[in-house]
A and B are shown apart, each in its own frame.
Chain A
Amino acid sequence: MPTSEEILARLARIAEDPNRYAEAWKKARGRKVIGTFPMNFPLELVHAAGALPVVVQESGQPITLGRTLLFEFYCGYTRSLTDQAMTGQMEVFDAFFLVDHCVALLGAADAMRFELTDKPIFLAQYMASMDEAWNVPEIRKQIDLLRAQLEEFCGVTITDAAIAHSIRLYNRNRQLLRHLYDLRRAGRIRITAGQMQVLVKSSMVMDVEEHTSLLADYLAALEQENGFGEDLVKLHLSGHFCHAPPIALLDMIESCGAVVVDDDLFAGFRYISTDVPETGDPADGLTRWYFDRNTNVPCSTQAQKTVDWETYLVKSLEKSGAEGVIILMAKFCEPHMLYYPELRKELDRCGVPHLLIETEHLGLPLEQLRTRVEALLERVSRGAVASPAPARHLQPHP
Chain B
Amino acid sequence: MKSYVMGIDFGSTTAKTVILDLKGKVVVSCVAHMGAVSGEGVKASTEGALKQAGLTQADIGRTVSTGYGRRMLDIADKNFTEITCHARGAVTMVPEARLVIDIGGQDSKVISVDANGLVAQFAMNDRCAAGTGKFLEVLARAMEIRLEDMGDVALAAKEKLKISSMCATFAETEVISLLAEGQTKPDVLGAVHAAIASRTIGLVGRVGKKGPVVMTGGVAKNPAAVHYIQEALGMPLILPGDPQTAGALGAALIALDDYRSEHKAELAAMEEDGIEAQMAEDKACVPGCRGNPTAAPKKGLLGALGF
Chain A: residues with CB nearer than 8 A to chain B?
348, 358, 365, 367-368, 371-372, 374-375, 378-379, 382-383, 386-398
Select one of A358, A378, A394 contacting B24, CB under 8 A.
A394
Closest B residue to A354 by CB, please name it. Answer: B121
Least Cβ–Cβ distance between B153 and chain A, in angstroms: 29
Taking CB atoms, residues of chain A closer than 8 Å to B118 are 379, 382-383, 386-387
Least Cβ–Cβ distance between B46 and chain A, in angstroms: 19
Taking CB atoms, residues of chain B closer than 8 Å to A398 are 241
Contact B257 A379 (CB under 8 A): no
Closest B residue to A379 by CB, please name it. Answer: B119
Q: Known contacts A378-B84, A382-B118; decide if A396 and B257 are in contact (CB<8 Å).
A: no
Contact A388 B257 (CB under 8 A): yes
- Interchain CA distance A128-B249 in the complex, whole Å: 53
Contact A389 B84 (CB under 8 A): no
Select one of B23, B120, B260 contacting A388, CB under 8 A.
B260
Taking CB atoms, residues of chain A closer than 8 Å to B127 are 365, 368
Contact A391 B116 (CB under 8 A): yes
Taking CB atoms, residues of chain A closer than 8 Å to B91 are 391
What are 30 A-to-B residue pairs whose CB atoms are below 8 Å? A348-B121, A365-B126, A368-B107, A368-B124, A371-B82, A371-B124, A374-B80, A375-B81, A375-B122, A378-B81, A378-B84, A379-B118, A379-B120, A382-B84, A382-B119, A383-B118, A387-B116, A388-B261, A389-B24, A389-B253, A389-B257, A389-B260, A390-B116, A391-B92, A391-B117, A392-B95, A393-B24, A397-B25, A397-B26, A397-B241
Contact B260 A371 (CB under 8 A): no
Contact A394 B119 (CB under 8 A): no
Taking CB atoms, residues of chain A closer than 8 Å to B81 are 371-372, 374-375, 378
- Interface set, chain B 110-133, CB cutoff 8 A to A: 115-122, 124, 126-127
Contact B116 A375 (CB under 8 A): no
3 closest pairs, A vs B, by CB?
A: A375-B83, A394-B24, A375-B81
Taking CB atoms, residues of chain B closer than 8 Å to A387 are 88, 116-118, 253, 257
- Report if B256 contacts A (CB, 8 A): yes
- Interchain CA distance A256-B156 in the complex, whole Å: 47
Taking CB atoms, residues of chain B closer than 8 Å to A358 are 126
- Interchain CA distance A348-B112 in the complex, whole Å: 13
- Interchain CA distance A383-B120 in the complex, whole Å: 9
Taking CB atoms, residues of chain A closer than 8 Å to B83 are 371-372, 375, 378-379
Q: Known contacts A387-B116, A387-B117, A388-B260; decide if A396 and B82 are in contact (CB<8 Å).
A: no
Contact B249 A396 (CB under 8 A): yes
Q: How large is the interface on B (under 10, 10 to 19, 20 to 34, 35 or more residues)?
A: 35 or more
- Interchain CA distance A345-B293 in the complex, whole Å: 63
- Report if B93 contacts A (CB, 8 A): yes
Per-residue A-contact encoding for B34-46, CB less than 8 Å = 1, 0 else:
0000000000000
Taking CB atoms, residues of chain B closer than 8 Å to A393 are 23-24
Least Cβ–Cβ distance between A57 and chain B, in angstroms: 25
Taking CB atoms, residues of chain B closer than 8 Å to A388 are 257, 260-261
Select one of A372, A375, A389, A391 contacting B256, CB under 8 A.
A389
Select one of B29, B84, B95, B261 contacting A375, CB under 8 A.
B84
Least Cβ–Cβ distance between A325 and chain B, in angstroms: 13
Closest B residue to A396 by CB, please name it. Answer: B26
Select one of B26, B68, B82, B107 contacting A395, CB under 8 A.
B26
Least Cβ–Cβ distance between A330 and chain B, in angstroms: 15
Taking CB atoms, residues of chain A closer than 8 Å to B119 are 375, 378-379, 382-383
Least Cβ–Cβ distance between A31 and chain B, in angstroms: 45
Contact A395 B116 (CB under 8 A): no
Contact A395 B84 (CB under 8 A): no
Taking CB atoms, residues of chain A closer than 8 Å to B93 are 396
- Interchain CA distance A365-B88 in the complex, whole Å: 26
Closest B residue to A387 by CB, please name it. Answer: B116
Contact A394 B241 (CB under 8 A): no
Closest B residue to A355 by CB, please name it. Answer: B122
- Interface set, chain B 245-280, CB cutoff 8 A to A: 249, 253, 256-257, 260-261
- Interchain CA distance A254-B59 in the complex, whole Å: 35
Taking CB atoms, residues of chain A closer than 8 Å to B95 are 391-392
Taking CB atoms, residues of chain B closer than 8 Å to A368 are 107, 124, 127
Closest B residue to A390 by CB, please name it. Answer: B116
Least Cβ–Cβ distance between A227 and chain B, in angstroms: 25
- Interchain CA distance A304-B181 in the complex, whole Å: 55
Contact B116 A386 (CB under 8 A): yes
Taking CB atoms, residues of chain B closer than 8 Å to A389 are 24, 253, 256-257, 260
Most-contacted residue by chain B among A375, A382, A386 (CB, 10 A): A375
Closest A residue to B86 by CB, please name it. Answer: A375
Closest A residue to B84 by CB, please name it. Answer: A378
- Interchain CA distance A367-B37 in the complex, whole Å: 13
Least Cβ–Cβ distance between A30 and chain B, in angstroms: 48
Least Cβ–Cβ distance between B186 and chain A, in angstroms: 33
Taking CB atoms, residues of chain B closer than 8 Å to A375 are 81-84, 119, 122
Taking CB atoms, residues of chain A closer than 8 Å to B82 are 371, 375
Contact A395 B253 (CB under 8 A): no
Taking CB atoms, residues of chain A closer than 8 Å to B107 are 368
Least Cβ–Cβ distance between A389 and chain B, in angstroms: 5
- Interchain CA distance A391-B91 in the complex, whole Å: 7
Contact B124 A372 (CB under 8 A): yes
- Interchain CA distance A86-B301 in the complex, whole Å: 75
Contact A395 B23 (CB under 8 A): yes
- Interface set, chain B 68-95, CB cutoff 8 A to A: 68, 80-84, 88, 91-93, 95
